[in-house]
Amino acid sequence: MSKISLEVNGKKITKEVPDHTLLSVFLREILNLTGTHVGCDTSQCGACVVHVDGKSIKSCTAFAADLNGSKITTIEGIAQNGKMHPMQEAFKKLHGLQCGFCTPGMVMSAIDLLQNNKKPSDTEIRDWLEGNICRCTGYQNIVAAVKEAASKM
Amino acid sequence: MASLVGSRVERKEDKKLLTGRGRYTADVNFVHQTFAYFVRSPHARAQIKKVDTSKALKSPGVVSILTGADIVNDKIGGLIAGWRIKSEDGSDMKVPPHPPLASDTVNYVGDHVAVVIAETLDEARNAAELVKVDYKILKAVVSTKDAMSSDQIYKDIPKNMCFDWLLGDRAKVKEAFDKADKIIKIDLVNNRLIPNAMEPRAANADYNPSTEEITLYTTSQNPHLARIIISAFNGVAPENKLRVIAPDVGGGFGSKIYPYAEEVVCSWAAKKIERPVKWVADRTESFLSDCHGRDHVTHAELAVKNDGTFLGFKNETIANLGAYASVFGTVTPTYLFGPCATGVYKMPAAYSNVKAVYTNTAPVDAYRGAGRPEATYTIETLVEKAARELGMDPAEIRMKNFPTQFPFQQTLVHSVDSGDYVGGLNKAMEIADYKGFEKRKRESASKGKLRGIGLCSYFEACGIAPSPVVMMLGCGIGLWESAEVRFNPTGNVTVFTGSHSHGQGHDTTFAQIAADQLGVPIENIEIAHGDTDKGPFGYGTYGSRSLTVGGTAIVKACDKIIAKGKRVAAKMLEASVDDIEFSNGEFVVAKSNKKKTIGEVAFACYLPGTYGEVKSPLPEGDEPGLKETSFFDPVNFSFPAGSHICEVEVDPDTGETKLVKYTAVDDFGTIINPLVVEGQVHGGLAQGIGQALYENCHYDESGQLITASYMDYTMPRADNFPEFNLGFTCTPATSNPLGTKGCGEAGAIAAPPAVMNAVMNAIGTEISMPATAEKVWKACNKNKKRNSEAA
């Protein structure tokens, strides 16, 4: 067991967790932040992407115990005062989601892309999102949404 | 009020899904919940000699372990094949028993042997490793092609054959072939796919000992069907004591139409141990045990005249059903496949013969398109080959054989109500700049690349319904759809649909329809689905049927609301019912300014008495309240159609195929929400292109699934696609009042032949799906070698 203190979506949290607790399990099962999804067990699908200290990572491949002192942002934490993040707004406007299962990871990855590259090209967006699998949309409206968000941010 | 039908309305369901407030089955937890982990067969085919749970039962946290013997003791019924197919000789299909937990034999890797239930998932998983199963390993049957000549899997099923089905007239086909100038032949494999909805299957069953009711949360496209099967066939609980809820569901694509062993076992176990039982598949379990799709081996022939006129078609197919006959497993390679195998053409004579075989692989069932992609791939690669052999342009040969008069009686079954196939192909050629291809090809050649263009014209039969028709063809259920439109006393509206949305956007599209019909603002309309305790029985979402069948039921229920509303408004306005007109949410007395809003009428319906100012508005004979139900059964399928054109660029040095241009022109009749429809086309295309270029389910000779993770099964990624060019034509359907046709499967149906025709056009050789870099490189090398030898 490890005692960890971290900040999740702006809230300070201290918990004792078994050492093998994955961050995805910690968020979903212990904090009930079920917006972070788990779609595979090989770190391939990207449905579980969250931000740790501002950078996107796959939460199914990180131990909670290793993240003591980190700042974590999940899909539940990016809307401000009830107003959706421009990336969320753009996904809605351009139908960048269908079943919604891959969406949280997709949005969190896309936000990180714009932190690194303010005006990405279509190719750069598609390359960046290569680690996020969507089975519904054929990616076209996701790419359009990321471009739309880039124009607004 | 402006009409919402036809508008790009942003989806009502998106906010919750975008902010992490979606509620999927894995997100649902109950107090005092236990966790299930399944012990699965590691062998493709084996006899179970003994299951020893003694050590596992002592493992920490274990609550219960159930095996096939418990299933037998409790008389829990098997999983079912929902569609009865007869062979050409009139005999019934042969179906092996499919118990939710096996007791004597296992028949594919992943088959269910036992379930371990423990306080935590880790404890369940650890104990599962201690369940000792003694197997006698038997030789597995894996190959589709060789299944009939392999070892017999089931005692009573010779040649491993479920049925030998025929649709069409062999004698007429022979006559047609005798008259032909040329016979074009093709042998092909429709590669086996794994649906891979991003949300893995899950179940959470809660038993209430007080009411003796089970509540099952599950990842279903069809909670009503799950309830009736688990009740009537598995016998877990009577229908009135089983509530099935499919909350937010993360994609289905066919793989979540029907209940699997896990839902049956969790429900049964929850009742047995009187505690909630939760199970969530990991991805490898999904690969192993979700039903797979496609898997056909086909020989087909097309008889043509030298001028390109089609005279006849025949198709001999072996379809792999996997180890068991799944719910839609037997209809997929027959009635969903055969009728569409003659494609979008006038074809004087045709037959389809399908032999369905069992193998020691996961069951095969409907996957996006279900039968129609297999049919379209067959005819469209054959037509392309005919054009090549006759020296005709692929567009010209298609145009020559399109029907131009509608309704069009298609060769084998369908009477197609409307269409404009010539217009669709012309539009696609225009958008794709078909004429400019040769120039682009030269440009590619100058860079050492091989450019190819491929066409596909398709029609398909979807909006799967007419109950009398499908039942005559062997379907064990009706396929109508229900809607209940309920005005709440304060004037807002809840619409219950028996269909289910798992990405399709019903919350929005259906609300657009109801808003237009009733004149109520869309934000005051709630679409409810996915809970058997809410709203009437329904048949769920698959076969692109929700809008044409379920959407129409909403229109019909709204019609009834308006009819009652007119009677009530007439009473309120002291006018004759015949003088009341309804539009934009208002009942108006003709040629007057006397009117009542539909909200006022609804409120009045709930206050049928005199109380101060309020006076009973109910006409004699009318009951209080404002709620109407419709069960709609259409007279026909719907027949979307279109033409797709794909352009690829192949690098002969690496074999890499780059999709450079994709044009899709589809006719879905009237479109309710273009934003949603375009999304459906994009998604279908991605799956169809995935089948053509990337995806393949591979079992080795012993029946081990080699592609059981995302490291091994190629899922299409964002960087695999160009931006798709879409276009639409519109000939409204005549079989439903909205004029709509299904749009969910078209992309997956049309894309594989369009892409493969383009690849084959580029490299000049026939090649099988998926056209991976390795296969294409080998084909290019072989061509090079042949050319250098010839020189």
* pLDDT in the model for residue B787: 80
pLDDT of B613 strictly over 90: no
> b/e per residue, B413-433, with b = 16+ CB within 10 A?
bbebbbbbbbbbbbbbbebbe
**DSSP code of B254?**
T
Which residues, numbered 19 to 78 in chain B, qualify as contacts with chain A under a Cβ-Cβ cut-off of 8 Å?
19-24, 26-27
Query: What domain range includes position B128?
Result: 14-138+201-280
Distance CA B66, CA B50 (A): 14
Assess whether the previous peptide bond of B99 is cis (omega < 30° from 0). no
Structural domain spans, chain A: 2-77, 86-152
Distance CA B178, CA B349 (A): 12
Q: Is the separation of the CB atoms in B278 and B34 below 8 Å?
A: yes
B224 sits in which H/E element? helix B223-228
* Token pair listed for B221: 């496209």
Nearest CB neighbour to A133, from listed B17, B282, B715: B715
Inspect the interface and report whether the beta carbons of B283 and A129 lie closer than 8 Å.
Answer: no
Residue B470 has φ and ψ, to the nearest 5°, of: -65, -35
A14 touching B, CB under 8 A? Answer: no
Q: Do B492 and B625 fall within a single domain? A: yes
Inspect the interface and report whether the beta carbons of A126 and B18 lie closer than 8 Å.
Answer: no
Q: Do B112 and B34 fall within a single domain? A: yes
A88 touching B, CB under 8 A? Answer: yes
Q: Is the separation of the CB atoms in B173 and B81 below 8 Å?
A: no
Residue B57 inside a domain? The answer is yes
Q: Do B600 and B673 fall within a single domain? A: no
Inspect the interface and report whether the beta carbons of A130 and B19 lie closer than 8 Å.
Answer: no
Distance CA B695, CA B711 (A): 12
Inspect the interface and report whether the beta carbons of B13 and A100 lie closer than 8 Å.
Answer: yes
* Token pair listed for B586: 């208002």
Place of tokens 């688990």: B230
Inspect the interface and report whether the beta carbons of A92 and B284 lie closer than 8 Å.
Answer: no
Q: DSSP for B462-478?
A: BS--THHHHHHTTBSS-
Distance CA A146, CA A140 (A): 10
Nearest CB neighbour to A84, from listed B18, B198, B502: B18
Inspect the interface and report whether the beta carbons of A93 and B10 lie closer than 8 Å.
Answer: yes
Q: Is the separation of the CB atoms in B51 and B114 below 8 Å?
A: yes
Residue B729 inside a domain? The answer is yes
| CATH number of the domain within which B598 lies | 3.30.365.10
Residue B1 inside a domain? The answer is no
- Give the minimum alpha-carbon distance from A94 to chain B in angstroms, rounded to a whole number: 8
Inspect the interface and report whether the beta carbons of B18 and A88 lie closer than 8 Å.
Answer: yes
> b/e per residue, B74-86, with b = 16+ CB within 10 A?
eebbbbbbbbbbb
pLDDT of B2 strictly over 90: no
**DSSP code of B88?**
T
| CATH number of the domain within which B118 lies | 3.90.1170.50
Domain termination site, one of B592, B609, B632: B632
Residue B314 inside a domain? The answer is yes
Distance CA B731, CA B727 (A): 14
Distance CA B331, CA B469 (A): 13
Number of H helices, E strands in chain B: 19, 28
pLDDT of B789 strictly over 90: no
Cβ neighbours of residue B67 closer than 8 Å, sequence gap 6 or more: B51, B53, B101, B103, B113, B114
B269 touching A, CB under 8 A? Answer: no
* pLDDT in the model for residue B111: 98
* pLDDT in the model for residue B610: 75
Portion of chain B with pLDDT greater than 90, in percent: 94
Arithmetic mean of pLDDT over chain A: 97
- Give the minimum alpha-carbon distance from B20 to chain A in angstroms, rounded to a whole number: 4
Domain termination site, one of B280, B311, B333: B280
Lowest mean pLDDT among B517-521, B597-601, B612-616, B707-711: B612-616
* pLDDT in the model for residue B784: 81
Q: Which CATH architecture has domain A2-77?
A: Roll (3.10)
Helix (H, G, I), strand (E, B) or coil at B176: helix
A106 touching B, CB under 8 A? Answer: no
Query: B746-763 and B773-790 helices cross at what angle (nearest 10)?
Result: 30
Cβ neighbours of residue B669 closer than 8 Å, sequence gap 6 or more: B418, B638, B640, B730, B731, B732, B733, B738, B739, B740, B741
Residues of B with Cβ-Cβ distance to A9 under 8 angstroms: none
Q: Is the separation of the CB atoms in B325 and B348 below 8 Å?
A: no
Inspect the interface and report whether the beta carbons of A38 and B26 lie closer than 8 Å.
Answer: yes
Q: Do B449 and B387 fall within a single domain? A: yes
Distance CA B735, CA B173 (A): 31
Residues of B with Cβ-Cβ distance to A102 under 8 angstroms: 198, 250
Q: Do domains A2-77 and A86-152 have the same CATH topology?
A: no
- Chain A interface test: which of B19, B29, B658, B672 (most A C-beta within 10 Å): B19
Amino acid at B202: A
- CA B761, B763, B766, B768 torsion-angle sign: negative
The mean per-residue pLDDT over the stretch A75-96 comes to 97
Inspect the interface and report whether the beta carbons of A37 and B21 lie closer than 8 Å.
Answer: no
Please write the tens of the pLDDT for every residue from B653-704: 999 999 999 999 999 999 999 999 999 999 999 999 999 999 999 999 999 9
Half-sphere exposure of A21 (CA within 13 A, CB side): 22
CA angle A37, A38, A41 (to 5 degrees): 165
* Token pair listed for B114: 């036992």
Distance CA B480, CA B631 (A): 7
* pLDDT in the model for residue B614: 66
ipTM over 0.90: yes
The mean per-residue pLDDT over the stretch B336-364 comes to 97
B782 confidence band (pLDDT: 50, 70, 90): confident
- Give the minimum alpha-carbon distance from A19 to chain B in angstroms, rounded to a whole number: 13
Inspect the interface and report whether the beta carbons of A95 and B19 lie closer than 8 Å.
Answer: no
Distance CA A92, CA A152 (A): 14
Domain termination site, one of B280, B310, B342: B280
Q: How many CB atoms lie within 10 A of CB B687?
A: 29
Distance CA B748, CA B642 (A): 12
Closest CA to B453 of B395, B378, B396, B494: B395
* pLDDT in the model for residue B1: 62
Residues of B with Cβ-Cβ distance to A139 under 8 angstroms: 682, 686, 717-718, 721
Place of tokens 């979402």: B541
The mean per-residue pLDDT over the stretch A42-67 comes to 97
Please write the tens of the pLDDT for every residue from B549-604: 999 999 999 999 999 999 999 999 999 999 999 999 999 999 999 999 999 999 99
The number of C-beta contacts closer than 8 angstroms across A and B is: 173
Distance CA B606, CA B588 (A): 20
pLDDT of B466 strictly over 90: no
Please write the tens of the pLDDT for every residue from B239-254: 999 999 999 999 999 9
Q: Do B647 and B762 fall within a single domain? A: yes
Q: Do B96 and B109 fall within a single domain? A: yes
What are residue B683's DSSP bridge partners?
none
Please write the tens of the pLDDT for every residue from B405-415: 999 999 998 99
* Number of domains chain B contains: 3
Inspect the interface and report whether the beta carbons of B20 and A75 lie closer than 8 Å.
Answer: yes
B297 sits in which H/E element? strand B296-304
How would you classify the pairing of strands A71-73 and B310-322? unpaired
pLDDT of B791 strictly over 80: no
B786 confidence band (pLDDT: 50, 70, 90): confident
Helix (H, G, I), strand (E, B) or coil at B758: helix
Measured between alpha carbons, how far is residue B248 from residues B22, B245, B325, B504 in Å? 6, 10, 28, 12
Please write the tens of the pLDDT for every residue from B49-97: 999 999 999 999 999 999 999 999 999 999 999 999 999 999 999 999 9
Please write the tens of the pLDDT for every residue from B187-205: 999 999 999 999 999 999 9
Length of chain A: 153
Residue B177 inside a domain? The answer is no
Inspect the interface and report whether the beta carbons of B710 and A133 lie closer than 8 Å.
Answer: yes
Q: Please classify residue B307 by burial: count the beta carbons closer than 10 Å to its beta carbon, then call 0-12 exposed, 13-18 middle and 19+ buried.
A: exposed
The mean per-residue pLDDT over the stretch B421-427 comes to 98
B455 confidence band (pLDDT: 50, 70, 90): very high
* pLDDT in the model for residue B506: 97
B283 touching A, CB under 8 A? Answer: yes
Q: Do B206 and B256 fall within a single domain? A: yes
Arithmetic mean of pLDDT over chain B: 96
Residue in chain B nearest A20 by alpha carbon: B122
Q: Do B371 and B350 fall within a single domain? A: yes
Secondary structure of chain B: what % helix, strand, coil (to 5)?
30, 25, 45
Q: Is the separation of the CB atoms in B408 and B419 below 8 Å?
A: yes
B590 touching A, CB under 8 A? Answer: no
How would you classify the pairing of strands B34-40 and B112-118? antiparallel
The mean per-residue pLDDT over the stretch A27-52 comes to 97
- CATH assignment of A86-152, among 1.10.150.120, 1.10.3720.10, 3.30.70.1350, 3.30.70.120: 1.10.150.120
Q: How many CB atoms lie within 10 A of CB B443?
A: 12
Please write the tens of the pLDDT for every residue from B750-761: 999 999 999 999
Closest CA to A142 of B198, B683, B648: B683
